[in-house]
Structure 1
Amino acid sequence: MLGWAATFLIIALIAGVLGFGGIAGAAAGIAKIIFFIFIVLLVISLLVNALRGKTPKL
């Protein structure tokens, strides 16, 4: 999921440099939403693993 956020961020940067403001804004918005969803899922995953008491396997 973090890879998708990075992809949309790169698309937004390229579109912004080339002058496509609408596409750049939309791609940046999508990247921001996906990034925050990733952060929320990461926190939930860490909390669930902490409450279970299992140590992560390395």
Structure 2
Amino acid sequence: MLGWAITFLVIALIAAVLGFGGIAGASAGIAQILFFVFLILFVIAMISRAVRGKPPV
């Protein structure tokens, strides 16, 4: 998931440099959504691991 967010961020940066504002904005929005989904899933995974009694690695 984080890999996809970084990919869309790179696409947004390249599109912004080349002057494609609409594509850059859309790609940046997608990257932001994917990043926040990644963070939420990461926190849920860490909480579930702690509840099961396994120490964080």
Structure 1 unmatched ranges of 5 or more: none
1:53 and 2:53 are equivalent in the alignment: yes
Deviation digits for residues 3-51 of structure 1, max 9, x if unmatched?
0000000000000000000000000000000000000000000000000
Matched, 1:13 2:9: no
In the TM superposition, structure 1's runs of 4+ consecutive aligned residues that sit over 3 Å from their partners are: none
RMSD of aligned Cα (Å): 1.1
Equivalent pairs counted in the alignment come to 57
Q: Which residue of structure 2 aligns with residue 31 of structure 1?
A: 31
Instruction: Return the TM-score normalized by structure 1.
Output: 0.93
Residue segments in structure 2 that go unaligned for 5+ positions in a row: none
Identity, in percent, stands at 68
